Structure 1
Amino acid sequence: MPHIAWIGKKSPFCGNVTYGLTITEALRQRGHRVSFIHFDSGDSWPDVALPYLVKSQVYTIPSPGAQRELRDALARLQPDLVHASLTLSPLDFRLPDLCQQLGLPLVATFHPPFDAGLRHVAAGTQQLTYQLYAPALARFDRVIVFSQLQAGILERLGVPAERLAVIANGVDVNRWCPARNAPAAGAAGRGPESRDQQLDQRLGRERLFVYMGRIATEKNLEALLRAWRLVRPRGCRLVIVGDGPLRSALEPASPEPDVLWWGHEPDEATRIALLQRAEVFILPSLVEGLSLALLEAMACGAACVATDAGADGEVLEGGAGIVLRTQGVTTQLRTLLPLLRDQPVLTAELGRRARQRVLERYALTGSLSQLEGLYSALLSRRPVPERSAPGPLWGLPLA
């Protein structure tokens, strides 16, 4: 099995963090050796910590010595391949030169959300990110994207098609599953009965509509809140799980009985339990990549409503959910919320179809097999590097 040096994030919580932790854990379970290199402060053994100046859910600014420490770590670890889950950091642009001089194949996963229609300011901003990254991505050995739409954008910006690999996000369908399919109580060893009691106390008895994700401009949560407050569907409660820069502006000073601001939830088992209780999951984003939260909600059997931003429309097309346009989300939801409230048979059927779609197209096992195939193809074409300590990387800036 090859030794993979994984460069990514472990905090703060975001889709990139979930992706990196999920994939590396699964690779280890399949027998791969994985060394995790990420931005952190202090000692993070057995991981490798890189120093940083600023780290957020969206971008990272490394310390001046981070590149030198990364080079030293790769020389010490001597991996067979480097996989960078790109963190929107200046260090991303140095990786092709660094890995080329160390003789290491380099794979990237490119996460930034997009809207192929460029229908909003947020979409235009993300397009600039793609334009900025494209020349560097063209120098990676492979760039993993989550959909053909995303690959098409990068091809138009000059990234060769042969360097792009479409591997969709995957979900562990045995872990993220409807409550009726969940392991027996006590199997996880974390007190599920106590967790259920706490959830009962906090959630109440209403039917649950859930949003889970960052509370930021591109997620368009304002549109969902406007629609909810206009409709106020009786017997229903909107649960907002997550945190972000807009929370303080959107969360009212006085509590609303039918809107629960849950906040950031670090415990995966609790997030699973929340989605298992959700009758409807709503994602009103202006831009997206391929939302892991959406796939997790689908796997848990929630009826899913999402915009056609990024690849989310592809995920739900053909009856696996309800697809909204990114323009006029409030108006669309104002019409849709009463229907979802009054038609529990419809939401149950949509939840069944959502789960089936994930089983057919987005199971983690399939994504991992594609990833392993990509690794094997790259390693089979590369000579085995000499395992002596490398000399200075002449011409490569060390700052």
Structure 2
Amino acid sequence: MKIVQLANFYTPTSGGLRTTVDELGRGYLDAGHERVLVVPGDAYATEDTPAGRRVTLSSPQFFWSKTYHVLTSRQTCRLLDEEQPDVLEVSDKLSVAWLAPWARRRGVPLVLFSHERIDAILRTRVPDWFPLVALANASNSRLSRRADEIVVTSNFAAAEFARVGATNVSRIPLGVDLDVFRPRLGKSAPGPVKLVTLSRLSGEKNADLAVEALRILCADGVDAELTMIGDGPLRSRIEALADGLPVTFAGHIASRETIASMVGAADIAVFPSPAETFGLALLESLACGTPIVVPSEGAAPELVGDVGSGAVTDGSPMGLARGVRALLTVPEVQRRKAARVTAQRYPWSATIERLLALYSDLTRHEESVNWQAAQRR
């Protein structure tokens, strides 16, 4: 089976989406399939990677961003005609409108991999009066009609499609590399409580709330410090907010091994975002044996497992601080074990197996439809 993936928002700093697309690619290759990834960029390039072949198409910049480019229909469809995929896996919702007609004409199943929930991701970017839910419903209804199948990774992500009565939705959780992200040996050294936040520093992630939670903890006499891993448009504002507090800004870190080491050295990971549709960084923290503090909104609570693996809060700075305090009452060995055991339920192999089974069913169905159409001619 030849699987072609398309991803508009795939860049060296795009975090979870890049990790997901590449891990899936490696899994497809290991299972004996061919994988081609198509992404936009400054100039045309083709490269063989450990996750399969990657083709970069020269593409215009996205209208509101200097970081992202966007695939265009003409050159992308021309490339797809050359590649002749068996399955088209699309990792952004913008391209489905013009990819769906191409896929239907060619008899290729189109699978939308939904990485974000429209109403959650836009909530901080529109005024309160804006009819966001109605807009999301209209968009999701169109997407469900255009795609052969929609893959979501959590109940929270599935809910926006359930609202519009979509029936072509499969819930398949993501996975984690349990070899790279693993607990460090030994107990933590005496000293301050080490907190870590791994997040893009943008509005929907609410990373500033982790700083405010630290402020509350310090004011209450808790000896704690925070390391923020990640970068984004709000970094300077959050740095100003953290002035006078024990906060270290590590910026974007490309090495997954370095991230694993830093997260594994922390006592607790704080994730304030209410918009997570899965939370790959949360799962990576759990795999490192580092319990998580999360808000009750979004998909994050779905990853909290046994006692000590995490704390679900109201998402406010006070709530996050209370979540940290609650986890500190659990013995370190117990909470680190609970976190790791929770992550072990999510190997990438399980994700790959379920996706390939879905793709096999879709291709068989398409072959049957094509055969019946040929018989009627």
Q: Which amino acid aligns with 1:45?
A: T
What is the CA deviation profile of residues 310-339 of structure 1, one whole-angstrom value per residue up to 9, with x for unaligned ones? 22112215534111124xx11213334445
How many residues matched? 352
- Whether the 8 Å CA contact 2:17–2:115 is kept in 1: the answer is yes
Which residue of the partner structure matches residue 276 of structure 2? 288
TM-score normalised to structure 1 length: 0.79
Cα distance change on mapping 1:254 and 1:164 into 2, 3 Å: closer
Which residue of the partner structure matches residue 15 of structure 1? 16
Which residue of the partner structure matches residue 91 of structure 2? 85
1:369-380 equivalence runs, <5 A: 369-380=353-364
Where do 4+ consecutive residues of structure 1 move more than 6 Å? 55-59, 118-126
TM-score normalised to structure 2 length: 0.83
User: Which among 204, 208, 214 is matched to residue 200 of structure 2?
Assistant: 214
Q: Which amino acid aligns with 1:70?
A: T
Is 1:140 the counterpart of 2:139? The answer is no
Q: Which amino acid aligns with 1:168?
A: P
What is the CA deviation profile of residues 269-312 of structure 1, one whole-angstrom value per residue up to 9, with x for unaligned ones? 11111111121011111222011000100111101111122221
Is 1:352 the counterpart of 2:337? The answer is yes
Cα distance change on mapping 1:318 and 1:257 into 2, 3 Å: closer
User: Which among 97, 100, 103 is matched to residue 104 of structure 2?
Assistant: 100
- Whether the 8 Å CA contact 1:112–1:126 is kept in 2: the answer is no
User: Which among 29, 54, 60 is matched to residue 62 of structure 2?
Assistant: 54
Output the CA distance in 1 between the equivalents of 2:114 and 2:132: 12
- Whether the 8 Å CA contact 1:304–1:350 is kept in 2: the answer is no
Cα distance change on mapping 1:359 and 1:22 into 2, 3 Å: same
Cα distance change on mapping 1:156 and 1:340 into 2, 3 Å: closer
Q: Which residues of structure 1 form unaligned runs of 5+?
A: 182-202, 387-399
Which residue of the partner structure matches residue 229 of structure 2? 241
What is the CA deviation profile of residues 90-137 of structure 1, one whole-angstrom value per residue up to 9, with x for unaligned ones? x23211111111221111101114788x99887988744454243123
Which residue of the partner structure matches residue 165 of structure 1? 170
Output the CA distance in 1 between the equivalents of 2:16 and 2:65: 9
Cα distance change on mapping 1:371 and 1:70 into 2, 3 Å: same
Which residue of the partner structure matches residue 351 of structure 2? 367
Identity of paired residues, percent?
24
1:146-295 equivalence runs, <5 A: 146-159=153-166, 161=167, 163-180=168-185, 206-232=192-218, 234-252=222-240, 256=244, 258-295=246-283
SS in 1 for 2:61: strand
Output the CA distance in 1 between the equivalents of 2:245 and 2:190: 10
Q: Which residues of structure 2 form unaligned runs of 5+?
A: 48-53, 371-377
Cα distance change on mapping 1:39 and 1:137 into 2, 3 Å: farther
Is 1:110 the counterpart of 2:102? The answer is no
SS in 2 for 1:383: helix
User: Which among 290, 298, 303 is matched to residue 315 of structure 1?
Assistant: 303
SS in 2 for 1:132: helix
RMSD after superposition = 3.2
Greater RCO, CA 8 A, separation 6+: 1
Cα distance change on mapping 1:211 and 1:136 into 2, 3 Å: same
- Whether the 8 Å CA contact 1:306–1:323 is kept in 2: the answer is yes
Output the CA distance in 1 between the equivalents of 2:80 and 2:37: 11
Output the CA distance in 2 between the equivalents of 1:249 and 1:234: 25
